[in-house]
Amino acid sequence: MSSSLSRVEAMTLTVATVNVNGIRAAAKQRSETNLGILPWLEQTRADVVLMQEVRANQKQTEAALAPAIEAGWHLAQAEASAKGRAGVGILSRLPLTHVVTGFGHAEEQAGLTASPGAREFDDSGRYIEARVNASFGPVTVASLYLPSGAADTEKQDEKYRFLDSFGHFMQQRAASTVDGKPENMIIGGDWNICHRRADLKNWRTNRTKSGFLPDERAFMDSILGVWPDSASQVGDETDAGRTGNPAGGVGDFFGAVDYTPSPLAQQRLREGAPENPQWFDVVRRINPEADGPYSWWTYRGQAFDTDAGWRLDLHVVTAGMLERAQEADNAWVDRVDSYDLRWSDHSPVIVEYA
């Protein structure tokens, strides 16, 4: 994917999403050649940067990013009640309005009823949204840090509960309007789920790992549909292999410890993947047949050098924004050239909207 195409500044909105893996660490100079996120912010073409895993309070983030803020970047942030955990933020060259933290609050702000269970995540530092005025009109930009989960721990229960509530939120929000028109919305973030086999290099050996479990992937089906496939990959012949998927199938909720499928989960299972989804994975829509492009590589081993990555960082958008992304046809992972230049274990995923 190329970042070299020309950009008409006045007519486009360019948005990046990146898990910074701790903003204070990301802002530090690590070597003579690795100067951290600050030079990247100076050079990036992005108008908006959606950040996850900020792991700092507002004062600490402002201190870490002081040169960028002095240069004109606007900051909005939702920190987690648990210190040093999670946290999401929005950096923007454009003024930010209508800032809301927590997707339960965001539903109420949009005139909707808060999803059952949403309040559990109000103070978890996992969702923030704001509005920017692009040349083509208002756009709601949201930063999401979906729980990573961990099979056979309570973290996986938390992840399944989040999916239940957040799926309902997305279903409701798809019908939202701004000034009487369908809302233009981008939910960028670390979704912590690979939807399809092309989204991670070593999918066979990760079928029992959180991030590629059947019910997680089925959740993505329920939001995005099965495109570009004709049917869901979850549980198909390739997925099962000769001996079956070791994580079972949809509805088994593999890895849960004390989770009972909620009515929202049961409804999702009954309805399955929509034929006409209201939300779209921009990078996959632009690159339907590509492996990856991956955006996260573990620091362990040679994963970065061998490109043994996962595509966890997504732009999920409404129909109007998909059309604008397809018109610009310019989306890429801003991957550094070598391991020693990384300031996070994730790379920014950038999309231009015309």
- Which is nearest to 194 in space by CA: 223, 216, 165? 216
Q: Is 227 exposed, middle or buried (0-12, 13-18, 19+ CB in 10 A)?
A: middle
Nearest Cα to Cα of residue 144 among 276, 312, 303, 267: 312
Among 47, 168, 346, 353, the active-site one is: 346
Q: How confident is the model at residue 109 (pLDDT cuts 50, 70, 90)?
A: confident
Q: Residue 212 above 90 pLDDT? A: yes
Question: Is 190 one of the annotated binding-site residues?
Answer: yes
Rounded to an integer, the average pLDDT of 241-256 is 96
53 is in an annotated binding site: yes
Instruction: Tell me the residue ranges of DSSP E strands in the chain.
Output: 13-19, 48-52, 74-78, 88-92, 97-101, 127-134, 137-145, 177-178, 181-182, 185-190, 280-281, 313-317, 331-333, 349-353
Annotated binding residue 19: yes
The single residue of 164, 190, 215, 313 carrying the catalytic annotation is: 190
Measured between alpha carbons, how far is 101 from 91 in angstroms, rounded to an integer?
Answer: 15
Position 7 pLDDT exceeds 50: no
Residue 87, sorted as left (phi over 0), alpha (psi -120 to 50) or beta, turns out to be: left
What CATH number should be reported for the domain holding residue 158? 3.60.10.10
- Dihedral (CA of 245, 285, 86, 30) sign: positive
CA–CA distance, 38 with 46 (Å, rounded to integer): 13
Q: What band does 111 get if pLDDT is binned at 50, 70 and 90?
A: confident
- CB burial of 34-49 (b: ≥16 within 10 Å; e: otherwise) equals bbbbbebbeebebbbb
pLDDT in tens, 136-150: 999 999 999 999 999
157: its two tokens: 């229960």
Q: Is 307 marked as a binding-site residue?
A: no
Please report whether residue 140 resides in a domain: yes
Range with the poorest average pLDDT among 117-121, 186-190, 198-202, 248-252: 117-121
Per-residue confidence (pLDDT) for residue 110, from 0 to 100 = 80
3-state SS assignment for residue 350: strand
Domain of 220 in residue numbering reads as 13-353
> Is 345 marked within a binding site?
yes
- Concerning whether 346 is annotated as a catalytic residue, the answer is yes
**Number of domains the chain is built from:** 1
| Residue 245 in domain | yes
d(CA 244, CA 236): 10
User: Looking up tokens 């930009």, which residue turns up?
Assistant: 141
Which pLDDT score, from 0 to 100, does residue 342 have?
96
Give catalytic status of residue 145 as yes or no: yes
Listed residue (16, 1, 18) closest to 343, CA to CA: 18
Whether pLDDT at 183 is above 50: yes
What is the pLDDT at residue 8? 38
Residue 192 in marked binding region: yes
Q: Which residue from 205, 320, 314, 226 is spatially nearest to 276, judged by alpha carbons? A: 226
Q: Within a domain: residue 4?
A: no
| Position 7 in a domain | no
Which position among 47, 105, 127, 145 bears the catalytic label?
A: 145
Largest CA distance in the chain: 58
pLDDT band at 113 (very low <50, low <70, confident <90, very high): confident
The H-assigned helical ranges of the chain are 23-26, 37-43, 58-64, 66-70, 103-109, 154-173, 214-224, 237-240, 263-271, 282-286, 303-306, 319-328
Tokens of 263: 């009515």
Supply the pTM of this predicted model: 0.95
For residue 1, pLDDT beyond 80: no
pLDDT at residue 5, rounded to an integer = 32
Q: How many CB atoms lie within 10 A of CB 285?
A: 17
Q: When comparing pLDDT for 253 and 8, which is higher?
A: 253
Q: Would you say residue 170 lies in a domain?
A: yes
Q: In the chain, what percentage of residues exceed pLDDT 90? A: 91
Q: Does residue 3 carry a pLDDT above 70?
A: no
Average pLDDT taken over every residue of the chain:
94
Is 190 one of the catalytic residues? yes
Please indicate whether residue 104 or residue 146 has the higher confidence score (pLDDT).
146
